[in-house]
Amino acid sequence: MRGFFNKFARKERKMSTLTNELVLEALKSVQDPEIHKDIVSLGMVKDLGVNNGTVSFTVELTTPACPLKDRIQDDCKKALAHLEGVTNLDISFGSQVRGSKVGAGSTDLLPTVKNIILIASGKGGVGKSTVAANLAVALSRHGAATGLLDADIYGPSIPILMGIKEGPKKITVNGAVKLSPPIAHGLPIMSIGFFLEPDQAVIWRGPMLGKALHQLMGDAHWGDLDYLVVDMPPGTGDVQITFSQQLKVSGAVLVATPQEVALADVVRAKSMFDKVMIPIVGLIENMSYFICDGCNKEHDIFSRGGAEKAAAGFKIPFLGAVPITPSIRAGGDAGVPILIQDPDSEIGKVFLDIAAKLAGQLSVASEAGQQTESLKIVSS
Amino acid sequence: MNKPVPIEINHIQAEEQIRITWNDGHIWEYPQTYLRGYCPCAQCQGHGASDEKKFTPVKEAKLEEIRAIGNYAIEFRWADGHNTGIYTFDYLRSLCQCLQCEPSHAGST
């Protein structure tokens, strides 16, 4: 009882009372810079407390790889600066990755994975696997639970790039036999290569392939993942069709080298993803330029900027340009991706930056997906 | 990506019709025999170069299951076991005969 009166007395001393409602009202002026909605309506403000002029809350970002954390923090400070009675601000950050799978959910093979990202290209040899491996490591370094799936049947190279010596182990989960993916550099990894005889070419027709991929996806025990990065084979064939039919894919990232002839194939890949309604969440230019280790000059071996121009033309978000360097290649050969070997290197920063942009695009896709109603199949 | 997409597919069993509601307001009840007749699979449509949709009349088209395929299509499993047709949203929309698609149907029932 005394507490109640004390509170009452304190209220009277201060002319206006600072309440949670007033703080929330002020925070409504802060927008998520990517989703373009205010952070209060998006439900990102958590654990709000007001105590003797100290306002404390947690901003729950849509991804730990959020590229715009500092900006949101600044905007929050500005929004509350003019609020009467605020003497102290205590803003912390958390994250809850939102799923961005679209469409009806009944047929999904991977229910514990929030976002499935296909790394694809129209042609081979553009460095898709290297980009996929480093991107997965980058998402994981940002703090997101990330897995890597190698679906490149023609040349499964993820086991080499990630330095995996042993395949998956059989385990029993709720009475069903599952495959436990090997862990490399903190990431669970599955590869179609685990199921092939070494040095043998895969000469499979579609149905056989579909079955193998189905097993690779459905029999693996991934656990809860924020992101599953999938290294696709090049082109627009059976594997692409299987993925677009069996999974709820969040988005595809296209990898291209900058010269015209390579970009022509980007168009084909784009048109395929448009047909199966998988949103393209970004384009990455690989082998963009070469930094000479003698003179430190950047040499444009292909025509740097070509992919960025193409991205603008197709209205695809451009995620970044990765240089061609011996260190990326050496990291791959050694089974230790450059981001693990040398996280503070220039090239490491490039991958971290691309991962953050990609995570941002997926958050946008997730928000858009919630607006477009998902398909309901009913019977009456 | 702003193509129309279905938001509800309702199998009205008593009428042997499938009502598809689209996100842009189109609604039409597709008779099951009509959908089955326009099955898009290669067996039903053939491998010819013609773009024209072929209609194969069937006496009966009992439906067993409707399943979403990825983000872009629907599979119908018919009672006779036929399920090779993948009806993309675009294809289903091209079969829509609602009043907005076929204004000439206004007045007739």
With cut-offs at 50, 70 and 90, classify the pLDDT of residue A170: very high
Residues A177-189 pLDDT 10s:
999 999 999 999 9
Q: What is the dihedral of CA A176, A180, A181, A186, to 10 degrees?
A: 130
Q: CB under 8 Å to B102, separation ≥6 — which residues?
A: none
Q: What pLDDT was estimated at residue A197?
A: 75
Q: Report pLDDT for B106.
A: 62
Q: Which amino acid is at A124?
A: G
pLDDT, averaged across chain A: 85
Q: Is the pLDDT of residue A103 over 70?
A: no
Q: Choose among A277, A377, A379: nearest Cβ to B13.
A: A379
Average pLDDT (A351-378) is 81
Detail the DSSP E strand segments found in A174-258. Answer: 176-180, 183-184, 187-191, 225-231, 251-256
B33-49 average pLDDT score: 88
Which residues of B are less than 8 Å from A246 in CB distance? Answer: 70
Both tokens of A331, joined, read: 């990291």
pLDDT over 60 (residue A12): no
Other C-beta atoms closer than 10 Å to the C-beta of A380 total: 9
Question: What whole-number percentage of chain A has pLDDT above 70?
Answer: 91
Chain A hits for B86, Cβ within 8 Å:
245
Instruction: Report the pLDDT value the prediction gives residue A101, as an integer from 0 to 100.
Output: 65
Chain A residues whose beta carbon lies within 8 Å of the beta carbon of residue B7: 373-376
Q: Is the predicted pLDDT of residue A64 greater than 50, yes or no?
A: yes
Tell me, rounded to whole angstroms, the distance of Cα A60 from its chain centroid: 17
Model pTM score: 0.81
- Residue A245: CB atoms within 10 Å: 18
Residues of B in contact with A245 (CB under 8 A): 69-70, 73, 86
A205 pLDDT higher than 80 = no
Cβ contact, residue pair A107, B69, below 8 Å: yes
Contact A378 B8 (CB under 8 A): yes
- Contact status, residue B84 vs residue B56, Cβ threshold 8 Å: no
Band of pLDDT at residue A366, cut at 50, 70 and 90: confident
pLDDT range class, residue A1, cuts 50, 70, 90: very low
Distance of alpha carbon A257 from alpha carbon A125, whole angstroms = 9
Is B9 close to A377, i.e. CB distance below 8 A? yes
A249 contacts in chain B (CB < 8 Å): 70-71
What is the ipTM, given to two decimal places? 0.82
| Range of lowest pLDDT (A192-206, A233-247, B30-44) | A192-206
Residue A314's closest chain B neighbor by CA? B1
Q: In sequence order, which residues have a C-beta less than 8 Å from that of residue A254 and are 6 or more positions away?
A: A120, A121, A122, A266, A269, A270, A280, A282, A283, A284, A316
What's residue A104's pLDDT? 45
For A:212-271, CB contacts with B below 8 A are 243-249
Spatial contact of A42 and A35, defined as CB atoms under 8 Å apart: yes
Task: State how far the Cα of A319 lies from the Cα of A204, in Å rounded to an integer.
Answer: 34
Q: Does B35 or A35 have the greater pLDDT score? A: B35
Chain A to chain B, count of Cβ pairs less than 8 Å apart? Answer: 75
Q: Is A173 helix (H, G, I), strand (E, B) or coil?
A: strand
Confidence of residue A18 (pLDDT cuts 50, 70, 90): confident
Q: Which residues of B touch A376 (CB under 8 A)?
A: 7-9
B56-85 pLDDT, tens digit per residue, is: 888 888 999 998 888 889 999 999 999 999
Residue A355 DSSP SS3: helix
Q: Scan for tokens 């993916």, then name that residue.
A: A181
What is the structure's pLDDT at A9?
Answer: 47
pLDDT at B32 over 90: yes
Q: How confident is the model at residue A14 (pLDDT cuts 50, 70, 90)?
A: very low
Chain A nearest-CA distance from B17, in A, is 10
* A68 vs A80 pLDDT, higher one: A80
* Nearest chain A Cα distance for residue B28, angstroms: 15
Beta carbons of A377 and B70 less than 8 Å apart? no
Q: Rounded to an integer, what is the distance from CA A94 to the centroid of its chain?
A: 17
Q: Is it the case that residue A11 has pLDDT exceeding 50?
A: no
A contact test, residue of B13, B19, B71, B72 with most A CBs within 10 A: B71
Other Cβ atoms within 10 Å of A292 Cβ, number: 9
> Which residue of chain B is at minimal alpha-carbon distance from A102?
B71
